[in-house]
Amino acid sequence: MRILRALSAVLLAMLFLLAMNACTTSNPFSSSIVPTPRPMFNGDQAYQHVLAQVGFGARPTGSDASRKTGDYIINQLKSFGWQVETQEFDYMGVKARNIIGKQGRGAIVILGAHYDTRRQADNDPDPAQRRQPVMGADDGASGVAVLLELARTLDVPKTQREIWLAFFDAEDDGRLDGWDWIIGSTRLADSLTVTPTAMILLDMIGDADQQLYWDNNSNQTLNESIWQVAASIGYTQTFIPQYKWTMIDDHIPFARHGIPAIDLIDFDYPYWHTTHDTADKVSPISLERIGRTLTAWLERTTKEIAP
């Protein structure tokens, strides 16, 4: 009799719990938390970062505007939950600073862009303007803008990698007053104590008339891999799988260390190193193509890239 009573009590308790669970499940006001979906890369959001940088004015290395731009980058990265490191250095008596945002675990992939702008518009069609600074809306700000929007939207754990977002200083004053090119990226590449599996550079990628060809100084396997992903999304008109340029750019120091590196660059940009490189020349749609291609590539490809 005692055993029957005990079993009855157990059955009643189980029925009560099942009933409570059914009520909770069917209750539209239950406190169950639904995960917030990850936002997609948005070209308009990225374009706001272009406007923010241009709002500081021309941003040559060592200037007050350059320092403010660097601080802006750091604050944005931190607000999106990235660990931030800086690499301070002097070059030609001028203070410079690389900025690196890090997140995730696994094989390292570096996505990079330079944030300095050229001190003189020596390619301007008007000789009277060639001593003026370059605003650098595309040549500098566009790549930075894509990286910052990736910082907000990229699902890093899904990539199964450790992602570095690298912002290089002192890239763009080569041939001026004894300066060389790609100083900041060289400092970072030479200081590496680990070996990334890939380095992808974004430079001048915001032109409304976007045309992205392969660079002869870029890794062929990595080029093909990213262009194939772009084609699968439908970007065949802008990602053109043909060699056209041979660039000395921020990917070169990493390639010298044996790291597969490429330069995503639209060097057909007609306002390069002129006073006309302004925000109205940059298209949010072009920024979005780059951001969504890189997102898809990082999520689809294997975590080890070994050309």
Asked if pLDDT for residue 275 goes beyond 50, the answer is yes
Instruction: Mention every residue, 6+ apart, whose C-beta is less than 8 A from residue 13.
Output: none
Question: What confidence score (pLDDT) does residue 301 get?
Answer: 79
Specify the CATH number of the domain 41-300.
3.40.630.10
107-114 and 198-203 strand pairing: parallel
Query: What does the alpha-carbon distance between residue 32 and residue 179 come to, in Å, rounded to a whole number?
Result: 59
Q: What is the pLDDT of residues 229-239, one digit of tens each?
A: 999 999 999 99
pLDDT range class, residue 146, cuts 50, 70, 90? very high
Closest CA to 145 of 72, 81, 62, 211: 72
The bridge status of strand 212-215 relative to strand 239-245 is: parallel
CB 145 within 8 A of CB 49: yes
3-state secondary structure at position 121: coil
Mode of pairing for the β-strands spanning 161-168 and 94-104: antiparallel
Sorted by where each begins, the domain ranges of the chain are 41-300
Q: Is the pLDDT of residue 35 over 50?
A: yes
The pair phi, psi for residue 271, each rounded to 5°, is -105, 15
DSSP label at 90?
A: E
Residue pair 66/124 in contact (Cβ under 8 Å)? The answer is no
The answer to whether residues 167 and 142 touch, using CB atoms and an 8 Å cutoff, is no
Query: Residue 1 above 60 pLDDT?
Result: no
What is the model's pLDDT at position 302? 60
- Give CA angle at 293 (289, 299), nearest 5°: 150
**Tens-place pLDDT, residues 279-294:** 999 999 999 999 999 9
pLDDT category at 264 given cuts 50, 70, 90 is very high
Predicted pLDDT at 15: 46
Q: Output the CA torsion 143→144→150→152 (10° steps).
A: -160
Q: What is the pLDDT of residue 26?
A: 40
- Cα 80 from chain centre: 13
Asked if residue 112 lies in contact with residue 140, where contact means CB atoms within 8 angstroms, the answer is no
**207, containing H or E segment:** none
300/306 Cα distance (integer angstroms): 15
- 83 near 141, Cβ under 8 Å? no
Give the model confidence (pLDDT) of 180-204 as tens digits: 999 999 999 999 999 999 999 999 9
Task: Spell out the residues 6+ positions from residue 71 whose beta carbon is closer than 8 angstroms to its own.
Answer: none
Provide the pLDDT confidence category of residue 272 given band limits of 50, 70 and 90: very high
d(CA 229, CA 227): 5
CA distance 80 to 84: 11
Which helix (H) or strand (E) is 214 found in, with range? Answer: strand 212-215
Cα-based distances in Å from 35 to 32, 38, 191, 238: 10, 9, 40, 35
Q: Round to whole Å and give the CA distance between 59 and 70.
A: 10
Provide φ and ψ at 199, rounded to 5°.
Answer: -135, 125
Which amino acid is located at 42 in the chain?
Answer: N
How much is the pLDDT for 17? 46
Residue type, 264: L
pLDDT above 90 coverage of the chain, percent: 85
Predicted pLDDT at 37 = 75
**Rounded alpha-carbon distances, angstroms, from residue 237 to 15, 139, 233:** 63, 22, 11
Instruction: Tell me the pLDDT band of 4, cut-offs 50, 70 and 90.
Output: very low
